[in-house]
Amino acid sequence: MRGDAGGFGGIKGDGFTEKYLNTKNDQTQGLHGIEPNAPYESFAKATLLVCNKLSYTHESHYMSQKQVAGLFEHVRQCHMTGRPLNRFMTIQMKDLQQKSPQKTINDLMEKTRKWLKSKGHDPAYLWVLENGETKGIHAHLIIHIPKHCIHDYKRLIKKWLPLEITKTTLDFKTIKYPHYGHVGTRSCVYGVLKYMCKGINPSTPTHDIKPIYQGEIVGRRCGHSMTINTVK
């Protein structure tokens, strides 16, 4: 789409634009994943540019300083809202047959969310993907699972994961918190999170993390649950 298409279906400006009109709600939305020189006839009818929802993937080699800071803040928010991230999981995914490791994590967390909600608990978690030379792609997760639910959750997660569960494919540990409840910089959860974030870009270190290269990841490298702002 070049500048001479300006004004067609709401397209304007020089070069490739990133706007299209969604006829379902008459709102303009971002457009990603289209080649800049693609002919507009491929996407337009009459005077409207009509497109389905598009997706794209990208590769990354490091976590950004902003991503790491966001995960540290999420840990603090979870603790303040009565959902301390108290379980640490590592899932080996090199033999996974799923479409993507991100989909595996999302599917697992969706099942976890529904199960926790049925027990009357709000979900809280965060995850990071790594691609090691020997382990291949694997995920680290920290999650809030109440103590009285942990036995059942360990049993269910083995059914939910689309892989053969062994001691090497799934590792599950407890994260201890101070008895007095305050989360400080030396608390175990921050030590675990610093380990999870070791794939940070070495040019922008933060939180006293020692950067260690963790390979190429296609798609999202990390994520977390929704934040609840009500302090309990």
Beta-strand relationship, 217-218 and 59-60: antiparallel
Which residue, 108, 124, 123, is CA-closest to 76? 124
Number of domains in the chain: 2
pLDDT, average across residues 63-76: 95
- Flag whether the pTM goes above 0.75: no
Higher-pLDDT residue of 229 and 87 is: 87
Same domain? For 177 and 67 the reply is: yes
pLDDT confidence bin for 135, thresholds 50/70/90 = confident
Same domain? For 195 and 91 the reply is: yes
Average pLDDT taken over every residue of the chain: 77
pLDDT at residue 95 is higher than 90: no
Site of tokens 């939305």: 29
Element (H, E) at 152: helix 150-160
Q: What is the CA radius of gyration of the chain?
A: 22
Looking at residue 146, its pLDDT comes to 94
Where is average pLDDT lowest: 39-48, 51-60, 170-179?
39-48
Same domain? For 39 and 68 the reply is: no
Give the range of the structural domain holding residue 29, as residue numbers without chain letter: 3-49
Same domain? For 119 and 218 the reply is: yes
Note whether 139 and 93 are within 8 A (CB). Answer: yes
Within-domain flag for 169? yes
Same domain? For 42 and 79 the reply is: no
The answer to whether the Cα torsion of 227, 229, 207, 145 is positive or negative is negative
Residue 195 in 3-state DSSP? helix
CA distance 225 to 126: 6
* Structure tokens belonging to residue 146: 């109440």
Task: Compute CA 8 distance to the chain's CA centroid, rounded to the nearest angstrom.
Answer: 37
Where is average pLDDT lowest: 44-48, 62-66, 91-95?
44-48
Which residue, 184, 160, 69, is CA-closest to 106? 160
pLDDT at residue 211 is higher than 70: yes
CA distance 228 to 122: 9
Same domain? For 33 and 84 the reply is: no
Same domain? For 42 and 72 the reply is: no
Same domain? For 30 and 116 the reply is: no
